[in-house]
A and B are shown apart, each in its own frame.
Chain A
Amino acid sequence: MSQLRQEVVIEACGLTMKYGSNLIQSNLHFQISKGDVFVIMGGSGCGKSTLLKHMIGLYEPAEGEILFSGQSYFSATAKQQLAMRKRWGVTYQGGALFSDKTLAENVALPLEQYTTLTSKDIRDMVHYKLALVGLAGFEAFYPSQISGGMCKRAGLARAIALDPDILFFDEPSAGLDPLSARRLDDLILQLRDSTGATVVIVTHELASIFAIGSNGVYLDASTRTQLDTGSPEYMLNHSKHDVVREFLSRGAGGGEYADE
């Protein structure tokens, strides 16, 4: 395990992100090892989701690059890009399910695209993936017929359809009640443990950050750069920046969550 942890899966090198001429974050450096649960945290509007979208190749970095096992997405050929994408699973804030398709069709889509399974095998596979996220029996439902929390879990089922090596989550627990959020956290950890996937997660829910985060980066909205990187506990106790310690302790100055 200790040897596995050394392997760097994702690395940001001097990453700068811009929307047009509008600077979002500059000069980001961090490393994500295999099996990490990496938390991107920071206040509202600091560019957490934007960083995630850069990582999954939706936006091109203004400067610097993000390396996946040493390979940059944007300098890869189209074929390599597709191969990289197949190794990623992404869940979006609202689930982003295709609204004109049933849950089963949503989860089946990546399987139909990239595997040669027969339609019966795909059906079984879809059932298994939906059962994993606690949605067995909802195959024939449309996204509009289920609750927001269920949509998120169905989005997760679609993201893990191809057994990805890296799972990206955009605010998984936003808008969920505390119990559902907790269950989702447990689910993420279980998936990580059983499949050995690396997890990158955008969140500002403190409970989640400490419950599942093993590594992370704090983005600051006012200085527009990262203030610290490391595990949440380490940042809470050892960060040089008051803002980071305050954020991680809801303004109490540190220590509150450190014993957990």
Chain B
Amino acid sequence: MNQATLTVAKVSDPTVVITLRGSWTVSGVLPALDQLSALLDCGQLKAVAFITGDDFSWDSRLLAWLLACQRMLESSQCQFDLSGMPEDVGDLFRLANTVPPNKALPQRHQSLFHHLINRVARLGDESMELLAFTGDLALSLCYWLSRKGSARWSDIINFCHQSGPSALPIITLQSILIGMILAYLGMVQLRQFGAEVYVSNLVGVGMVREMGALMTAVIMSGRTGAAYAAQLGTMQVNEEIDALITLGIKPMDYLVLPRTLALILTIPLLCLYSNILGMIGGGLVATSMDITWLMYLYQLRDAISSGDIMTGVFKSFIFAVLIAMAGCRAGLACGRSSAAVGQATTNAVVTAIIYLVVADAGLNILFYHLGI
């Protein structure tokens, strides 16, 4: 195969004729453009004519080179004359030039600093939006209670089924293991004081006041909160939400409220279930060491008061509202692409867990000061 070469000849002063020889193809090596610009006196160039020489062959590579050449000579606005080239080359070159290139730049990713500044500036907006969303949800609940809203019991029961019974297996596994972990932790520490029997207190109070509610909520935010975000996000992508609005139905009444009510109904129940299984799990560990079931249960009865149970259930009620809000808000704010649905789901889980942890800390401080 012949090496691609070119020779430059000046015919009349502003016009230059360039002869191309050899193989101008993808597999060959083409002369560098800087080399050409050194040969040409770019400043006064008015027209460049290309003609073919010996053994000339070409493919897209030639066109790419010609376009690069044209970009290099753009400032001098010289004419390209391709009449000496094969007809197809001229046609393709014209085709590539029919639509002038776009000058505007796409939006660049911002620098980290700007990104941070924007995020901080957006925090204010976001908390206002959250407040507005909460208000809307409360209004929608009032409408529903006064029998004007469009949430339907059939929907609520359907969502209850999705979020409640179907979540039992994973809650079972999780609760038994948490109970066992607490029991191991307690046994090792309490043995130092010979107070092994108090492992019941640790497991019981730990589950009922804290772990049952929190861990159930974490599981539910990953399971149901994410599902809500994905459902509403996909509805947003399919324009189903727009369709609802134009039918005069508020998404808040029709989509968000039934989901929230379903979670409010199921999560406290799941929390109670989780408490019981956690205590059983703790018992399994305790009795495998040097405590009998009778001692364990007897001590457990003394350790837990109904106030403790109510505390946990109240927490899980608050968590249910937060999970539903995080999920539904992320879904409704979803963009209109499939990537946005994924982002909305991530968002739902992350915000839900942040809400949970912050709310849990706040509630614990509150209960401590109220002496509950």
Across the interface, name the chain A residue whose C-beta is closest to B249.
A113
Chain A binder among B75-83, B118-126, B236-244 = B236-244
Q: Are B246 and A97 in contact (CB under 8 A)?
A: no
Q: Select A56's contact among B235, B240, B246, B249, beta carbons within 8 Å.
A: B246
A196 within 8 A of B: no
Report chain A residues within 8 Å CB of B234.
99
A90 within 8 A of B: yes
Report chain B residues within 8 Å CB of A158.
243, 247
Rounded to whole angstroms, the CA-CA distance of A57 and B234 in the bound complex is 21
Rounded to whole angstroms, the CA-CA distance of A48 and B104 in the bound complex is 22
B292 → A minimal CB distance (Å):
52
Q: What are the interface flags for B159-199 relative to A under an 8 Å C-beta threshold, 1 for contact and 0 otherwise?
A: 00000000000000000000000000000000000000000
Report chain B residues within 8 Å CB of A82.
248
Q: Are B248 and A113 in contact (CB under 8 A)?
A: yes
Q: Are A96 and B248 in contact (CB under 8 A)?
A: no
Q: Are B248 and A90 in contact (CB under 8 A)?
A: no
Q: Are A85 and B247 in contact (CB under 8 A)?
A: yes
Q: Select A92's contact among B150, B242, B248, B249, beta carbons within 8 Å.
A: B242
Interface residues on A, range: 20 to 34
Q: Are B243 and A90 in contact (CB under 8 A)?
A: yes
**Contacts A93-B239, A96-B238, A97-B240 given: A85-B246 contact, CB under 8 Å?**
yes
Q: Are B247 and A92 in contact (CB under 8 A)?
A: no
Report chain B residues within 8 Å CB of A227.
none
A38 within 8 A of B: no
Rounded to whole angstroms, the CA-CA distance of A155 and B238 in the bound complex is 12
Q: Are B238 and A94 in contact (CB under 8 A)?
A: yes
A29 within 8 A of B: no
**Contacts A58-B245, A82-B248, A86-B248 given: A113-B239 contact, CB under 8 Å?**
no
B154 → A minimal CB distance (Å):
10
Across the interface, name the chain B residue whose C-beta is closest to A92.
B239
A109 within 8 A of B: yes
Q: Are A99 and B246 in contact (CB under 8 A)?
A: no
Q: What are the interface flags for A72-96 relative to B under an 8 Å C-beta threshold, 1 for contact and 0 otherwise?
A: 0000000000100110101011101
Report chain B residues within 8 Å CB of A224.
none
Rounded to whole angstroms, the CA-CA distance of A253 and B228 in the bound complex is 52
A148 within 8 A of B: no
B120 → A minimal CB distance (Å):
19
Across the interface, name the chain B residue whose C-beta is closest to A58.
B242
Q: Are A58 and B246 in contact (CB under 8 A)?
A: yes
Q: Are A85 and B248 in contact (CB under 8 A)?
A: yes
B235 → A minimal CB distance (Å):
8
B227 → A minimal CB distance (Å):
12
Q: Are B247 and A53 in contact (CB under 8 A)?
A: no
Q: Are B245 and A92 in contact (CB under 8 A)?
A: no
Rounded to whole angstroms, the CA-CA distance of A27 and B243 in the bound complex is 27
Q: Are A110 and B247 in contact (CB under 8 A)?
A: yes
Rounded to whole angstroms, the CA-CA distance of A129 and B238 in the bound complex is 22
Q: Select B240's contact among A86, A96, A113, beta carbons within 8 Å.
A: A96
Known: A88-B246, A90-B246. 5 other contacts (CB 8 A): A58-B242, A82-B248, A92-B242, A97-B243, A110-B248
Q: List 8 A-B contacts (CB under 8 A).
A: A82-B248, A85-B247, A86-B248, A88-B246, A92-B243, A97-B243, A98-B235, A114-B248
The 9 closest A-B pairs by CB, nearest first: A96-B239, A85-B248, A96-B243, A92-B239, A90-B246, A96-B240, A82-B248, A110-B247, A56-B246
